[in-house]
């Protein structure tokens, strides 16, 4: 019983864990992404260090993904597209579309 309980707890993702995962992903942001963010933000980003900008990018990515998931759940009966369609990967689709440009 203890092993089952441990497995269930490990399988659950908390909000904090998701943020930590996003932060870990963005530790490896490349210079191109940082410069692109600086261009988009304009004067707002002038006084920000690269680390502050990385933090902002991380939080915006997390918020947009969580809002999109929430919207998808409201539209698709409590599930996201990734949960509803096996093998669906929005990030892979984005990469493929970006590569075609």
- Residue 50 resides in a domain: yes
- Residue 95 resides in a domain: yes
- Residue 74 resides in a domain: yes
**Residue 67 structural domain:** 14-100
- Residue 44 resides in a domain: yes
Contacts for 66 with CB less than 8 Å, ≥ 6 apart: 18
User: Tokens for 14?
Assistant: 């908390």
Write out 32-68 in H/E/C secondary structure: HHHHHHHHHHCHHHHCCCHHHHHHHHHHHHHHHHHHH
Helix 50-75 to helix 31-41 angle (10° resolution) is: 80
- Residue 6 resides in a domain: no
* CA 80 to centroid of chain Cα atoms: 14
Domain count of the fold of the chain: 1
- pLDDT, one tens digit for every residue, the chain (101 residues): 445 445 445 545 566 666 666 666 655 677 888 889 899 999 988 899 988 888 888 888 888 888 998 999 999 999 988 888 888 777 777 777 777 65
- Residue 9 resides in a domain: no
- Residue 7 resides in a domain: no
């Amino acid at each position: 019983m203890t092993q089952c309980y441990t497995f269930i707890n490990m399988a659950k993702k908390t909000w904090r864990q998701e943020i930590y995962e996003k932060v870990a992903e963005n530790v490896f942001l490349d210079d191109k992404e940082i410069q692109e963010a600086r261009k988009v933000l304009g004067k707002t980003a002038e006084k920000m260090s690269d680390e502050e900008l990385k933090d902002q990018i991380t939080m915006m990515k997390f918020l947009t993904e969580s809002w999109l998931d929430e919207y998808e759940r409201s539209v698709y009966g409590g599930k996201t597209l990734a949960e509803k369609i096996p093998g669906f990967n929005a990030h892979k689709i984005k990469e493929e579309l970006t590569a075609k440009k």
